[in-house]
Amino acid sequence: MPAPTIRRRIGALEGVLIEHPVVEFAPLTPAEIDNIERRVRLREPITRMEIQRLENPRPILQGSVIITCNKGHLCVKRYEGIDLNDI
């Protein structure tokens, strides 16, 4: 795809983002975090809404799991036998 086309599309997306304010989401519950971690482990899809909810509070620490999300890229790390809340 030519660079001018990419620039035009990015400009259009930026215009849409400016027009629509960022939505504030309720914090994720421990059950929702466990569900997302389980689905990532099983390679099941995560919805865009869930990814948007994960991008707000970075990083998410729960038990032995760290979840980070940056620009739509989801990273889930599990440290077996370590309770990250105690650190």
pLDDT tops 70 at residue 23: no
Is the residue at 28 inside a domain? Answer: yes
What range does the domain containing 35 cover? 24-86
Neighbour count for residue 48 (Cβ, 10 Å)? 9
Q: CA 39 to CA 58: how far, in whole Å?
A: 19
CA distance 70 to 55: 6
Query: How many domains in the chain?
Result: 1
Judge whether 54 and 26 are in contact, CB under 8 Å. no
The reported pLDDT for the residue numbered 37 is 85
Residue at token pair 């997302």: 36
Q: Determine the 3-state secondary structure of 76 from DSSP.
A: strand
Q: For the residues 15-32, what does the mean pLDDT come to?
A: 72
The pLDDT tens digits for 45-81 are: 888 888 888 777 667 777 777 788 777 778 887 777 7
Residue 76 lies in a domain: yes
> What was the pLDDT predicted at 6?
83
2 part of a folded domain: no
DSSP state of 46: -
Q: Is residue 8 part of a domain?
A: no
Q: Could you tell me if residue 69 is inside a domain? A: yes
